[in-house]
Amino acid sequence: MNNKDLSDGFSYPGLGEIIITNAEKFIDAVLNWGRSNSLWPLTFGTSCCAIEMMTFGATKVDADRLGTLFIGDSPRQADMIFVSGTITKKMARRLVNVYQQMPSPKYVVAVGACNVSGGLYWDSYNTIHGIDRIMPVDVYVPGCPPKPEEFLDAVKVLQRLIKEKKTKEDILYGRRS
């Protein structure tokens, strides 16, 4: 969002000074600000990256300060999914099913080398070599396994993409500013 698009001379937390020229743009900016600062993730972990994901949700890393609240195991309440570890062809159907149960807008973070490109199992006949082949991915977190701090960086990147309307869902469904 740029200040030339919207401004009424007031300052809003996280939005900066904005000029109101179009109510729809203003509402969209406020909704994106709210979405970016209240992400409710779902975890889909299958390998060693899942252990690092548990650390990310723990007190030491403190993901809550970014508004990332681990609320439960229901995809119907989540708007973001961390997918980590090796995804087999048999498991891919279940992962897509979980993804389809999430309400829109929904965001995907691919975690770990196995998930991003096949990793250690790149030559296996039964693995998906990157989940971007079966669902749109917004942020990639490479590593084997990545550090919990890199999960925080991924959330920050996703927050910026949501505010700027540059997520895969925005691009795929034409919701560009």
Do 86 and 148 contact (CB within 8 A), yes or no? no
H or E, element range at 110: strand 107-111
Residue 120 lies in a domain: yes
Do 163 and 36 contact (CB within 8 A), yes or no? yes
pLDDT of residue 21: 62
Residue 95 lies in a domain: yes
Distances (CA, A) of 73 to 77, 98, 133, 141: 8, 11, 24, 22
pLDDT of residue 35: 80
pLDDT of residue 59: 66
Residue 71 lies in a domain: yes
User: Both 91 and 167 in a single domain?
Assistant: yes
User: Both 13 and 69 in a single domain?
Assistant: no
CATH number at 59 reads 3.40.50.12280
User: Both 118 and 45 in a single domain?
Assistant: yes
Output the furthest CA–CA distance in the chain (Å, rounded). 59
User: Both 30 and 8 in a single domain?
Assistant: yes
What is the domain extent for residue 88?
39-172
User: Both 16 and 48 in a single domain?
Assistant: no
pLDDT of residue 12: 56
Domains in the chain: how many in total? 2
User: Both 3 and 63 in a single domain?
Assistant: no
State which residues of the chain have pLDDT below 50.
Answer: 1-9, 176-177
The terminus-to-terminus CA distance of the chain in angstroms comes to 8
pLDDT of residue 6: 46
User: Both 15 and 52 in a single domain?
Assistant: no
pLDDT of residue 94: 92
User: Both 110 and 157 in a single domain?
Assistant: yes
User: Both 65 and 152 in a single domain?
Assistant: yes
Residue 44 lies in a domain: yes
Residue 177 lies in a domain: no
